[in-house]
Amino acid sequence: MINGTMRRMMTFAAVLSALVAAPSLAPAGAGSGDVAEKVLRLPMTTDGPKSLDPIVGSTTYENRCCSQIFDTLVQYKYLKRPFELEPALLAEMPVISEDGKVWHCTLKKGVRFQDDACFPGGKGREIVASDVFYSWKRAADPKYQFKSYWLLEDTIVGLDEFKEAQQQSGSFDYDAPVEGFRLINDHEFELVFKRPVQQFMWKLAMFQLSIVPREAVEKYGDRFNRHPVGSGPFMLENESDWQIGTSLVLKRNPNYRDEFYPSEAMPGDAEAGLTKAAGQKLPIADRIEITFFVESQPMWLKFEAGELDYTTVPETAYEEAFSRRSGNLKRPYEQRGITAHKVPLIDFIFRGFNMEDPLLGGYTNEKRALRKAICLALDWDEMNEAYYNGTALVYDGMIPHGLDGYPEDGHLPNAWRGPDLERARQFLAEAGYPDGQGLPVIDYYTSSGGTSERMAALTARQLAKVNIRINPRLVDFSTLMEAVDNKKAPFFSFAWGSDYPDAENNLALFYGPNEAPKPNHFNYKNAEYDRLYEKIRTMPPGPERTAIYIQMRDMVLEDCPYAGSMARIRHFLVNPWLLNFKPTETFYTWMKYLDVDDSKRPGGSSR
Amino acid sequence: MWSFILRRLLYNIPVYLGIIMLVMALLRVRNPVYAYLGKNADQKQIEEFEKSFGLKDPFIVQYGRFLWNGARLDFGESWKYKGTTVREKLLGAIPPSLSITVPALVLTSLLSITVGLLSAFNRGRLLDRLLVIAAVLGMSISFLVYIIFGQFFGAALPRNVFGDDWPLAIVGYGAWYRMSSVDIFGLTIPVPDALTWVKFCLLPVLISVIVAMGYDTRFYRAVMVEECNRDYIITARAKGAPKSKIMFVHMLKNAMIPIITRIMTTLPFLITGSILLEMYFNIPGMGRTLITAITDMDYPMIQGFTAVIALLYILSIILTDVLYALVDPRVRLS
């Protein structure tokens, strides 16, 4: 029985909704012709991208958005794990010369940019080899503050010199030649490298190296980041479709190249229904509506109300969705057909030591012993329980889950994983500080805010058990980076998200020439390690390379320039009407594979 | 009056310059470039960035440059949103804030003045006590609780029951903004489309009204109670003037000074918006834009926004004084 209040509420709702839904007020394009339109409604935490120009993009949010609008030369195979690459704009994978220094690339023919006023007649023209060179030269243009130049630095013959010369000239000449960019014809080109760089293949799939049309950049200038023109599966039809900080609406790009849903899959994919769409033309959806959420609460509520196709589970909602004891999705969600996916991120969360610090740095047995004592006093499982609901992945070594060199089940016998207070005390004595006597207070730099402050307190408490005292320096992130870059932080909390799924990216963190302010924040130096690193950069994947990865990992473990490690796990909840979704956060080109079954949505229609 | 306004403006110039100097100095305590350029930046890049944005110049030069450019409403380009000027962001963020704060202020003022009048007129009676208890309760609960409960009970839960028929959305300001706005002189102005406004803005407005009513009702009640004891009210009652006339004509008119003070002090907040509401309802207004600029360490944005907000505060104080004189002939601007 409906009581009076409920009846009044329903009447109010009915009147307002009748007004809101009045046909004369419907937005443009919401006519009857759109009934069959497939719309993806996706969330994005934070206030979204700052720019839709790939060359200035650096965050995961820019990656997610740019990856829909722009295309790269190669891309990740959607269903394959471990990750593998396949041609995207290229007709085939680059053909590599015997010495590994020359890559011959052939573009697919007939692939066009999206239609835009920057092209004659507004029709998107065909992508040619010179577009690749133009797009990549932008990374060397000071106008873009070299945000993406690290991808090409010290790699392609003549590019560094080109950058210097252009910078000195004061005006950037995109037509000036670069020795390592060899144009053969409109569809073929060669890349000449200073040395064989195997990992460059991964970079070809990175959104920053997407291909952009020169006409658009020149026509829109600084507005190109608000008016992107690409050749990706979706496009920004109007600038107003991107409400900065609020929402982004992308529409299917009718010019998108012929690409079809893959049939190559992993065991279990067929059972999960991920292969049903094999052979279907991409993109499957007609429109993507991305909503940005600075706060996770409204995102969660919107998912609960069936207005989002999937969500990541905010920490605050973890126990609402999952059983704390078993980690399984709770029954009410299962009953609604919602599925849960746990995706380990390629994360390396650690506490770093500055190897040049007079107290903690150095390579003598005493110095190593002090660092090992600190490692053994730390309890990463407790941190995981306290701050990640026990869902993060604690592992040994610096190579994250899923990459060559990751230890089986995450454990290594030669790692210094705590808590082992007895051994910690022994090492402390070996270091010359029995029971911590005489050991000065260690400055520990970590960023302020969020869980960092509480984690610093826990770190201090754990270390205090063996009489190691730290002075937590809670600073803003910029100051933390400055202190680490200037080698002023003896002990610091940091994390590294791999740029691509190859352990080389993590091993580079300990390569001597990469010392701070470059990513070797530990200032770790080991000639043998450096020699091996230079060797693996040129090696193709295989058992031989993996063996060297392991050797390098163990060398670092022995010298102990960091304590750790841990990786976060992203929890996705997926509504039953979202099809073909195999969640990952390693690449973001997957929106073109997604489909929706509107009949399963609440009310049986788009909302 | 004009000489008064001019004098007040002149007096406030040093205050304003001091605020700007303080903000710029505080922002320069730490170097923001390391975080801005990210994990792959090298020292050369950092130095080039500092040079290109004038961060290497002496502070006084940076200060002078900011004032000179600011006088022409040129606050530079956002670091984060390349190709977007701070001015553009400012102008873009004002309408979303206004679309929530103006209706909220009008509704709150009307309701709380009326409730305050009723309460004062019935002081000591059951109605008054109930209204006071409600106001105190309203004040005692955190704004955040109102927002979370409001989103859950006002939108999420009913949408689960009624689906899209429920007229209040959880978030979605962008959808309204996208479908109904016009560009005038570079300023994107939402077209006053009342019905889509209901869907995307009514809930935050209602929450804002509920929160503010507690404070405002108590304040207006106190003002009205004081007015109730005045001779002119007693005289009006003695003459048999109707209750409504005494309340809404005699009392209200004479209580205008504190009412104006109260409303005027909230005027700058109309522009600056409500940070919490904007964060939770995805409204790209001034409050949220400023907070995200601080998080992103977007210095030109922080400086530009602060300069404008400080100016608004000073102008609203001057405007309050002028309004006093307009509503109360006894007040002379001298």
Confidence of residue A374 (pLDDT cuts 50, 70, 90): very high
Residue type, position A539, single letter: M
State whether residue A481 sits within 8 Å of chain B by CB: yes
**What is the helix (H) or strand (E) element at residue A301, kind and residue range?**
helix A296-304
For residues A117 and B180, give the distance between their C-alpha atoms in angstroms, rounded to a whole number. Answer: 24
User: Shortest CA distance to B305 belongs to which of B317, B290, B294?
Assistant: B290
* pLDDT given at position A411: 94
- Residue A478 and residue B174: Cβ atoms within 8 Å? no
Question: Are residues A301 and B198, on separate chains, in Cβ contact within 8 Å?
Answer: no
Task: Reduce the DSSP state of residue A222 to 3 states and report it.
Answer: helix
Nearest chain A residue to B181 by CA distance is: A240
Bridge partners (DSSP) of residue A440 are none
Angle, helices B126-140 vs B86-121, to 10°: value is 150
Distance from CA of A561 to the nearest CA of B (A): 19
Q: Are the beta carbons of A64 and A585 closer than 8 angstroms?
A: no
Q: Do B31 and A145 touch (CB under 8 A)?
A: no
Q: Check CB contact under 8 Å for B30 and A476.
A: yes
Q: Mutate one of B52, B89, B153, B178 to test the A interface: name it (highest A CB count within 10 A).
A: B178
> B262 CA to chain A: closest CA distance, Å?
31
CA distance B85 to chain A (A): 10
Cβ-based contacts of B158 with chain A (< 8 Å): 9, 13
Q: Residue window 410-429, chain A: list those with CB within 8 Å of chain B.
A: none
Integer CA distances (angstroms), B31 to A489, B47, B49, B181, in order = 16, 11, 11, 39
Indicate the burial class of A15 (C-beta count within 10 angstroms; 0-12, 13-18, 19 or more): exposed
Contact B161/A at CB under 8 A: no
pLDDT score for A27: 38
Of B83, B198, B283, the CB nearest to A20: B198
**By CA distance, what is A223's nearest residue in B?**
B83
Task: Say yes or no to pLDDT of A33 above 60.
Answer: no
Mutate to test the interface with A, among B39, B44, B274, B296 (most CBs of A within 10 A): B39
Q: Using a CB–CB cutoff of 8 Å, tell me whether A17 touches chain B.
A: yes
Question: Bridge partners of A386?
Answer: none
Asked if B82 lies within 8 A of A222 by C-beta distance, the reply is: yes
Residues of B in contact with A8 (CB under 8 A): none
Yes or no, beta carbons of A476 and B179 under 8 Å apart:
no
What are the distances in angstroms from CA A514 to CA A484, A507, A520, B48?
A: 13, 11, 5, 19
Measured distance CA(B73)–CA(B62) in Å, rounded: 16
CB of B241 less than 8 A from some CB of A: no
Comparing A590 with A60, the larger pLDDT belongs to: A590
Is B178–A14 a contact, with Cβ atoms under 8 angstroms apart? Answer: no
Q: Residues A124-139: what's their mean pLDDT?
A: 97
CB-based contact, B29 to chain A, within 8 Å: no
The confidence band for A30, taking pLDDT boundaries of 50, 70 and 90, is: very low
B213 min Cα distance to partner chain A (Å): 23
Burial string for B155-194 (b: 16+ CB within 10 Å, else e) reads: bbebbeebbbbbbbbbbbbbbbbbbbbeeeeeebbbeeee
pLDDT of A5 strictly over 60 = no
Flag the least confident range among A236-240, A427-431, A601-605.
A601-605
Is the per-residue pLDDT at A607 higher than 80? no
Pick the residue from chain A with its C-alpha nearest to B77: A222
Residue A11 has pLDDT above 60, yes or no: no
Q: Copy the structure tokens of residue A14.
A: 């009915």
Residue A59 — very low, low, confident or very high, per pLDDT cuts 50/70/90? confident
- Judge if the upstream peptide bond of residue B14 is cis by omega within 30 degrees of 0: no
pLDDT of residue A24: 34
Interface residue A477 vs chain B (CB under 8 A): yes
Partners of residue A598 in chain B, C-beta under 8 Å: none
Put simply, whether B193 touches A (Cβ < 8 Å) is yes
- B323 in contact with A, Cβ within 8 Å: no
> CA nearest A22 in B: which residue?
B195
Segment (H or E) for A341:
strand A339-344
Of B32, B156, B296, nearest to A304 by CB-CB distance is B156
Question: Within 10 Å of residue B250's Cβ, how many Cβ atoms?
Answer: 18
More confident: A526 or B46: A526
**Cβ of residue B196 closer than 8 Å to a chain A Cβ:** yes
| A219 contact B CB<8A | no
Chain B residues touching A53 at Cβ < 8 A: 82
- On the CB side of B93, CA atoms within 13 Å amount to 32
Taking the Cβ of residue B51 and every Cβ of chain A, the question of whether any pair is shorter than 8 Å is answered with no
Q: Which residue of B has its CA nearest to A20?
A: B195
For the cut 90, the answer to whether the pLDDT of residue A464 exceeds it is yes
User: What pLDDT does residue A552 have?
Assistant: 97
For B286, the closest chain A residue by CA position comes to A245
Which residues of A fall within a CB distance of 8 Å from B42?
517-518
Q: Residues A361-375: what's their mean pLDDT?
A: 97
By CA distance, what is B285's nearest residue in A?
Answer: A245
Q: Does B82 touch chain A (CB under 8 A)?
A: yes
Q: What pLDDT is stored for residue A12 in this prediction? A: 45
Instruction: State pLDDT tens for residues A376-403.
Output: 999 999 999 988 888 899 999 999 998 9
- Is the pLDDT higher at B197 or at A406? A406
Of A39-48, A65-74, A154-163, the range with the lowest mean pLDDT is A39-48
- Is A23 in the B-facing interface, judged by CB distances under 8 Å? no
| Nearest chain B residue (CA) to A147 | B37
For residue A604, pLDDT over 80 is answered with no
A&B contacts, CB < 8 Å? 180
A-facing residues of B in 92-121 (CB < 8 A) are 92
Burial A297-323, CB ≥16 within 10 A → b, else e = bbbbbbbbbbbbbbbbbbeebbeebbe
**Interchain contact, A478 vs B32, CB within 8 Å:** yes
Strands (E), A68-162: 74-76, 85-87, 95-96, 102-106
Q: Which of A254-263, A307-316, A445-454, B55-64 has the lowest mean pLDDT?
A: A445-454
The pLDDT value given to residue B177: 59
pLDDT of amino acid B184: 67
Q: Which of A216-225, A418-427, B305-314 has the lowest mean pLDDT?
A: B305-314
pLDDT exceeding 70 applies to what percent of chain A?
A: 93
Quick check: B165 contacting A, CB < 8 Å? yes
ipTM above 0.90, yes or no: no
**Closest partner CB to B49 (pick from A53, A145, A222):** A145
CB proximity A243 to B under 8 Å: yes
**Which parts of chain B register pLDDT below 50?**
none
3-state DSSP call for residue A513?
helix
Which candidate from B42, B174, B188 shows the least CB-CB separation from A518? B42
Mean pLDDT of A444-455: 83
**Could you say which of A50, A302, A517 has the minimum Cβ distance to residue B42?**
A517
CB-based contact B30 A478, cutoff 8 Å: yes
Q: Do A298 and B162 touch (CB under 8 A)?
A: no
Q: Is the pLDDT of residue A159 over 80?
A: yes
pLDDT in tens, A553-574: 999 999 999 998 999 999 999 9
